């Protein structure tokens, strides 16, 4: 069941508290594009850092990369995107809204995964005859046939005209892994790595999505965090299982309960793939389990295609075994914005306290945008303000902190709860005497007196970054 209410509350909180804004709002907005405000940018950075830490910093077998968004247009011909990266769409002739034909079929228990458009139309027509389909928006049965719709976003470079032509067309990358394949050789040559090893990168991707109405779940501009692990095919099974396990654990480590996670096994695979699983998260605001990450065993398709189209030899020579081969790839691919939504959906909590409702984002503490808020008990007492500022100035060196002296303490706590700040530190009159402050915990709302001198140490114990 979709918790419509929860979705509305999350969208409203995200806007009101500066997490997510609709793009170009003063011009009426731009469909399926969003901007991230102060707290949104901080939360996104923390999720990004948590991924990078596990995927690069803690591993000696993974190399980082930051490749360009624009790539040689042949990249996307070689990868099959120019010919095949399409979704089937159906239009309503009455209200002009657009729907995904494959999603309509899925609702009737028919999988359209990797099926040709002829199959899709055959199935749609059957449902039409049985009077089982209608427009999801206005209920009209006056629908078009399904047509394929390219997801590739085109642009032009280096041309004096604004028109797109065969010579100047470039694509905004639809996924970040293309840049990894093209830099495979540069990485082997410059980093002198031995198989198995991975290349990881985080960056923007663009897709001309037909249906994009689920807040930041599916947008036309988004960020991906992808890692391609290059290996000898004989160890694919072992490493594929290793990555499945490691990625699953990552979610648990950052506070997602295992009951809200699920493995979805793809039965219909691309011809080059041997296994594909998605990690799904149970979005209460979207009504059920939805994909957040894909983990795929991709064979040697990618490097073989780029080798063929570029004419550059991308084989790997194993000196010990004196064997030459094109490496196979195990891939982990996740959307940063989708994870952002997942963490907010999971953290969003409403608690009844007396007659009031407390809204609190119970993020894993390390992901919280602001780690510590520092308050003087009263705004008009210079000695309290000065002491609170001094504490804020020293804590902010290591943690993202906020100073707030506006309104009564209760209101300040509520504001910090709404953005998920784990600790609030208050300087009161006693602090000037006993050199202690009150620390209030976001989740338990318990308060504790701690010596100002020991604050840094206290925080170090609770917060990793």
Binding site for ligand ATP (CB under 6 A): 175, 207, 209, 218-219, 222, 224, 291-294, 333-335, 337-338
**Chain centroid to CA 371:** 21
Q: Rounded to whole angstroms, what are the CA distances from 92 to 89, 106, 141, 196?
A: 10, 18, 8, 50
* Of 224 and 431, CB closest to ligand ATP: 224
Is-contact 250 279, C-beta < 8 A?
Answer: no
How many Å is the maximal CA-CA distance in the chain? 82
> Smallest Cα–Cα separation from 23: which of 36, 14, 33, 13?
33
* Of 294 and 327, CB closest to ligand ATP: 294
* Of 174 and 327, CB closest to ligand ATP: 174
Query: Cβ 288 to ligand ATP, closest distance in Å?
Result: 13
Q: DSSP alpha helices (H): ranges in 53-166?
A: 74-78, 81-84, 101-107, 117-129
Query: Cβ 11 to ligand ATP, closest distance in Å?
Result: 16
* Of 334 and 377, CB closest to ligand ATP: 334
Gap between the Cα atoms of 156 and 109, Å rounded: 41
Query: Cβ 334 to ligand ATP, closest distance in Å?
Result: 5
Query: Cβ 339 to ligand ATP, closest distance in Å?
Result: 7
* Of 14 and 439, CB closest to ligand ATP: 14
* Of 123 and 176, CB closest to ligand ATP: 176
Query: Cβ 182 to ligand ATP, closest distance in Å?
Result: 18
Phi, psi for residue 114 in degrees, rounded to 5: 60, 25
* Of 79 and 224, CB closest to ligand ATP: 224
- Tokens standing for 428? 């009161």
Gap between the Cα atoms of 221 and 324, Å rounded: 39
Query: Cβ 210 to ligand ATP, closest distance in Å?
Result: 10
* Helices and strands in the chain: count of H runs, count of E runs: 15, 23
Query: Cβ 238 to ligand ATP, closest distance in Å?
Result: 23
> Smallest Cα–Cα separation from 250: which of 48, 421, 62?
48
Q: Closest residue to ligand ATP, Cβ-based?
A: 335
């Amino acid at each position: 069941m979709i918790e419509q209410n929860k979705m509305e509350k999350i969208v409203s909180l995200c806007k009101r508290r500066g997490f997510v804004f609709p793009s170009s709002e003063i011009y009426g907005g731009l469909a399926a594009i969003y901007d991230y405000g102060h707290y949104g940018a901080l939360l996104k950075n923390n999720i990004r850092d948590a991924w990078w830490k596990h995927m690069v910093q803690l591993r000696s077998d993974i190399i980082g990369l930051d490749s360009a968004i624009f790539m040689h247009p042949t990249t996307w011909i070689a990868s099959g995107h120019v010919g095949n990266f399409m979704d089937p769409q159906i239009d309503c002739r009455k209200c002009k809204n657009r729907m995904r034909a494959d999603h309509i079929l899925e609702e009737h228990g028919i999988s359209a995964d990797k099926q040709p458009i002829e199959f899709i139309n055959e199935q749609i027509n059957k449902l039409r005859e049985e009077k089982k389909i209608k427009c999801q928006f206005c209920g009209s049965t006056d629908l078009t046939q399904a047509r394929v719709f390219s997801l590739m976003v085109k642009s032009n470079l280096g041309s004096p005209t604004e028109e797109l032509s065969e010579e100047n067309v470039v694509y905004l990358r639809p996924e970040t892994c293309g840049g990894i394949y093209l830099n495979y050789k540069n990485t082997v040559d410059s980093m002198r790595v031995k198989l198995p090893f991975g290349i990881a990168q985080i960056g923007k991707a663009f897709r001309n999505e037909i249906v994009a109405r689920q807040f930041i779940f599916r947008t036309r501009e988004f960020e991906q965090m992808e890692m391609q692990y290059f290996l000898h095919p004989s160890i694919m099974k072992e490493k594929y299982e290793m990555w499945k396990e490691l990625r699953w654990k990552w979610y648990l480590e950052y506070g997602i309960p295992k009951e809200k996670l699920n493995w979805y096994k793809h039965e219909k695979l691309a011809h080059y793939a041997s296994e594909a699983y998605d990690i799904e998260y149970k979005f209460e605001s979207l009504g059920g389990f939805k994909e957040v990450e894909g983990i795929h065993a991709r064979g040697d398709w990618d490097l073989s295609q780029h080798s063929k189209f570029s004419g550059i030899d991308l084989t790997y020579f194993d000196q010990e075994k004196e064997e030459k081969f094109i490496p196979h790839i195990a891939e982990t691919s996740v959307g940063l914005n989708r994870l952002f939504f997942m963490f907010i959906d999971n953290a969003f909590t409403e608690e009844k306290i007396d007659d009031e409702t407390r809204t609190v984002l119970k993020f894993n503490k390390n992901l919280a945008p602001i780690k510590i808020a520092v308050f003087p008990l009263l705004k008009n007492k210079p000695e309290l303000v000065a002491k609170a500022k001094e504490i804020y100035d020293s804590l902010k060196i290591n943690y993202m902190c906020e100073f707030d002296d506006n309104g009564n303490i209760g209101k300040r706590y509520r504001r910090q709860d709404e953005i998920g700040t784990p600790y609030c530190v208050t300087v009161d009159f006693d602090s000037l005497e006993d050199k202690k402050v009150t620390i209030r915990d976001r989740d338990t709302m318990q308060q504790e007196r701690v010596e100002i001198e020991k604050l840094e140490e206290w925080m170090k114990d609770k917060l990793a970054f």
